[in-house]
Amino acid sequence: MMRHDDGPSMPTTSTGVAILGSTGSIGTSALRVLSRQRDRFIPVALTAHGNVGALAEQVATWRPAYAGLVQPHDEAPREWGVGADCLVTAATHPDARIVINAVVGAAGLPATLAALRAGKRVALANKETLVVAGAIVTETAQRHGGELVPVDSEHSAILQCLAGRQPHEVRRLVLTASGGPFRTWPTARIANATIGDALKHPTWQMGSKITIDSATLANKALEVIEAHHLFGVPYDRIDVVVHPQSIIHSFVEFVDGSVLAQLGVPSMELPILYALTFPERVPDTGVPSFDPVALGGLSFETVRYDDFPMLQLGIDAGRRGGAAPAVFNAANEVAVAHFLAGRLSFSGIAERVSAALQEFSGASGASLEDLLQADAAARHLVHAQVGC
Ligand code: MG
């Protein structure tokens, strides 16, 4: 019912949102969205990895019912939850209807599963969740009435293009890739790219792990696997095309040859809002109105698979299935951490991931325990090979 007085909006009518990773790039974008959508949504639980100061500011501003910090810290208020368990506590908070999972890496998996078991909507920015255990996650959602809605811009685009369509009408998904900072670099130069080079993403402002994944194109491999699980489309009907402007966020080609694309300026606030309101759209003023003339032009290129081996390694791991995607993801997480610490060259990331995939290619992925074991073994191997 409409309210006609000028009083404050009633929080009891707002949908409660838990944000896991609230101080990161997606988390802060999500809070900007919520600040414009106070009549519809209210943050009820916030968790951060280790940024105690930023979380304290968010708690002071939003006064959520629950706050948690993954890494224990002396300055954390006593009422906050502490340790990795705080992710599950926030994800299953009774006041939360929607859980934005913006945790980095496989560490986000238990919270995704717990939220789905509790029948909540998971607005998923933590793509590693679906890479490590896609079949288990989608089955958990179906069995318990939970709902997975992508925050990843490519998958949000596909979800929007698929609205009202049936699976048998889809011929092919085409994920766009910016190509990262080394898209035009000569082959020999890429191998020795520095941390500074790799952190200069041309179109998106993101956290360091996903920015490195975008430079190696590992991110696009993770997204192909994510798309396979989210939309139930086989790998031979998912393609990747380089689109440097990051304006078209992905395409869907239908069986009659018609193609739909979703366009927008590169802002994560758009897919975050859609993940909250899907299948509806609500008015929002977060990004300026779209100006096609100002764009100057949109271009497309084939992927340089030989120069960015992480993409094919990841897609092959997805096709192989079992524990291979979990091994790919775990080895990549550790290799990227070593690269960011200056202990591994840029080309060393793909070398270490390839070695881990060869070592554990036969590992079973039948149960969650199998997958977590393969994840741990791959991490151990890469740590040992890099020498620490
Ligand atoms: Mg993406």
pLDDT digits (tens, 9 = 90+) for 281-326: 999 998 889 999 998 899 999 999 999 999 999 999 999 999 999 9
Closest CA to 205 of 156, 269, 249: 269
Gap between the Cα atoms of 69 and 86, Å rounded: 7
Tens of pLDDT, residue by residue over 83-138, are 999 999 999 999 999 999 999 999 999 999 999 999 999 999 999 999 999 999 99
Q: What is the pLDDT of residues 251-260, one digit of tens each?
A: 999 999 999 9
Q: How far is the CA of 2 from the centre of ligand 1 (A)?
A: 37
367 CA distance to ligand 1 middle (Å) = 27
Place of tokens 């290799």: 335
Choose among 121, 20, 120: nearest CA to 70.
20
Q: HEC profile for 336-353? A: HHHHHCCCCCHHHHHHHH
Distance 218 CA to ligand 1 centre (A): 11
Instruction: Give the pair of three-digit tokens for residue 135.
Output: 């079949």
Distance 184 CA to ligand 1 centre (A): 20
| Residue indicated by tokens 């190509």 | 179
Where b means 16+ CB within 10 Å and e means fewer, 347-364 reads ebbbebbebbbebbeebe
CA of 152 to the centre of ligand 1 (A): 5
- Tell me what the pLDDT averaged over the chain comes to: 94
pLDDT (mean) for 51-59: 98
Instruction: Write out the E strands in the chain.
Output: 15-20, 41-48, 66-69, 81-82, 98-101, 121-124, 147-150, 170-177, 238-242, 248-254, 259-263
Q: Which domains does the chain have, with CATH numbers?
A: 15-151 (3.40.50.720), 152-267+289-306 (no CATH), 321-388 (1.10.1740.10)
100/122 Cα distance (integer angstroms): 6
DSSP string, 236-276: GGEEEEE-TT--EEEEEEETTS-EEEEE--S-THHHHHHHH
Q: Are strands 170-177 and 248-254 parallel, antiparallel or unpaired?
A: antiparallel
**For residue 336, how far is its CA from the centre of ligand 1 (angstroms)?**
18
Quote the CA–CA distance of 239 and 233 in Å, as a whole number: 11
**Of the candidates 287, 201, 307, which has an alpha carbon nearest to the alpha carbon of residue 244?**
201
Express each pLDDT in 327-369 by its tens digit: 999 999 999 999 999 999 999 999 999 999 999 978 888 899 9
Strand pairing partners for 241?
A: 176
Which residues touch 9 (CB under 8 Å, ≥6 apart)?
38, 39
122 closest CA partner among 286, 281, 278, 328: 278
Ligand 1 centroid from CA 40, angstroms: 26
Give backbone dihedrals phi and psi of 73, rounded to 5 degrees, phi first. Answer: -145, 135
pLDDT beyond 70 at 3: no
Task: Give the three-state DSSP class for 363.
Answer: coil
Residue 6 pLDDT greater than 60, yes or no: no
Query: 296 versus 241: which is more confidently predicted?
Result: 241
Pairing between β-strand 248-254 and β-strand 259-263 as defined by DSSP bridges: antiparallel
**Model-level pTM greater than 0.85?**
yes
Q: How far is the CA of 6 from the centre of ligand 1 (A)?
A: 40
Residue 254 φ then ψ, to 5° = -100, 170
Q: What distance in angstroms lies between residue 9's CA and the mean position of ligand 1's atoms?
A: 34
DSSP-assigned letter for residue 71: S
pLDDT above 50 (res 265): yes
The rounded Å distance from CA 101 to ligand 1 centre is: 14
Give pLDDT, residue 2: 40
- Mean pLDDT throughout 172-186? 96
High-pLDDT (> 90) share of the chain, %? 90
Specify the pLDDT at position 9. 44
What's the gap in Å between 10 CA and the centre of ligand 1?
A: 35
Q: Is the pLDDT of residue 388 over 90?
A: no
Two structure tokens written together for 147: 């709902």
Q: Give the chain's length.
A: 388
Neighbours of 64 (CB within 10 A): 24
